[in-house]
Amino acid sequence: MAHNLPLCPANPPALPMGPDHPWLAPLAGYSDLPFRLLCREYGAAVCVTEMVSAKGLVYQSPGTADLLKTLPQDQPLVVQLFGAEPPFLAQAVRLLREAGFGWFDLNVGCSVPKVLRQKAGAALLGQTDLLLEIARAMLEAAGPGRVGFKLRLGVDDSRPVLPDLALRLEDAGAGWLTLHPRTARQGFGGHARTEELARLAPRLSVPLLASGDLFTAADGLRCLRQCGVHGVMYARGAMSNPAIFADHAALRAGRDPLPPDVARTRAMILRHMELAREHGCGQAAVWKMRSAAPRYVRAVPGARALRQALCRCKDWQETEEALDRFFSEAPADAEAES
């Protein structure tokens, strides 16, 4: 498992956390190496990988190495794992430590059926004793404070797990916790219950990161101000606008973020494409770009037609030509983001 990383020192520096250090969330299908590098250029302090199967990593399943592809400049990086068997989670962490990775996160919130069928992800919210056994196994393999846990409120409203679960994970040695304040059954429906973040934050001595419904930097700063969390993790907001991290820094400094602008968005897309061509996974990188570019221009007239045109593109040259046609016709004063 070679990644051109130096072995993580026995006592690595603490992960950057706090109001001035926004994180990029683990985004299955999106937070690959090119996208992480793009977000870092806009100011993401820490990035989390796509969700990686612990068992797949141990058995060297096809595709796992692609999810872990990284570079020295892609640091600090947190690897998010999922699984439901403590020995496999511990072995995955040990293998990753040997390869030079130093920070880990356990997914305890994904409600995708294929994950739930493995009793992993959000299913662990209904098996808290097993979750704590996994937590202890991962922490023993990683070292104190090097593992975080991304949580939801519970499987559903009838089975809340907070604050008890958070406090028990803290006692087990968790380095930080992330809360998306919805139940697993909600998925992404309804609204994130930010009042639950405000209730949990003062109960913890470890950092609490907020996730969920942070679509703009203004949403992130409002959450910091109203909920008392230690920091924020941008997910869907970053997917549609990687510059959300620069916007966050501007607002924290008392400046207005740069307004949406087609020229800047074109530069963003071209930079993403450049990174994808250099660091992406062959043809799959072309396919990912076909879905990424329309998200960045969803409010520009013709965005739907661009998506349709990109779906017909088979290589980078055709993708570039479709984008050139789109931007040559886009109104210069159109807003790039809604």
Active site residues: 110
Ramachandran class of 99: left when φ > 0, alpha when ψ lies in -120 to 50, beta otherwise: alpha
Q: Which amino acid is at 37?
A: L
Contact yes or no for 193/223 (Cβ under 8 A): no
Q: What DSSP assignment string belongs to 113-180?
A: HHHHTTT-GGGGGG-HHHHHHHHHHHHHHH-TT-EEEEE-SBSSTTSB-TTHHHHHHHHHT-SEEEE-
Cis peptide before 19 (omega within 30 of 0): no
Contact yes or no for 34/279 (Cβ under 8 A): yes
Neighbours of 267 (CB within 10 A): 11
Residue 84: DSSP 8-state: S
Q: Report the alpha-carbon distance of residue 117 to residue 283 in Å, rounded.
A: 30
